[in-house]
Amino acid sequence: MLISVIIPAHNEEKYIEKTLKSLNKQTLNRGSYEIIVCNDASSDDTCGLSEKYADKVLNLAKQKSISKVRNNGAKIAKGRILVFVDADTIVKPNLLKVISKTINKKTAFCAPIQMYNNKSMRAFLEFNKFLLQNMPELGLIGGCCMAISKDAFNELNGFDENYLMNEDRKMHLELLKRGYKFKIINTSVRTSDRKIKKLGLVKFMTNSIHSFLMPKKADYIKIR
């Protein structure tokens, strides 16, 4: 198996079907990748929808962090490349093919360009893209979609389960310390703007800065 796509999900019935449909419409041969949904004790129809489109649905008791949910998915993954996608993120048809051509011994992890439905976020995302390309040591990888070789993932023992959020940033920085290369790939994904709508742009940005400065202490905001 070339790629395992891992989707953590808790009460995502409003979004996950579109995400799974986009992953089933990839230009990469369908036999080359598997889709794993990690159902984190959902009380809605997340599990039922996932069973229609995913190859595996892992039903979990409530986990303390998204890191633990993702790590559980990685344990049953057969792919040489792990792709972590959020349940509210729609990917382009070429995503997995581009990832398969990017990950190698030198470039152990990569991420696509992240887009929001909210137009007011465009300037922020362009700035974030600039920082990722020119100052990767800041670790500003977008967690809604990222890919990593399974060997590198296992070398770090997966995501740090003590982090409630920004576990992706910590992994990014740890990989850079070990000499692995990171690359922004030439495709994009679109994630929902539900947190921005719920919090408002100013509070969303304030929380983002807070979590950047104190990632381990920040609380993950659960908005469905």
Cα R_g (the chain), whole angstroms: 16
Do 215 and 143 touch, CB atoms closer than 8 A?
no
CATH homologous superfamily, domain 3-213: Spore Coat Polysaccharide Biosynthesis Protein SpsA; Chain A (3.90.550.10)
The three-class DSSP label of residue 150 is helix
Look at residues 170, 143, 145 and name the one whose alpha carbon lies nearest to residue 159.
170
**57-65 own/partner pairs: CB under 8 Å, 24+ apart:** 64/161, 65/161, 65/162, 65/163, 65/164, 65/167, 65/220
Two tokens at 179?
């000499």
How high is the pLDDT of residue 215?
A: 52
pLDDT digits (tens, 9 = 90+) for 110-169: 888 666 555 555 665 666 566 666 665 555 566 689 999 999 999 999 999 988 777 888
pLDDT digits (tens, 9 = 90+) for 174-221: 998 999 998 888 888 887 755 544 544 444 445 554 454 455 544 444
Q: What residues does each domain of the chain span?
A: 3-213
Report CA-CA distances (Å) from 21 to 30, 85, 89, 140, 163.
Answer: 13, 13, 11, 28, 30
DSSP state of 217: T
pTM, two decimals, is 0.83
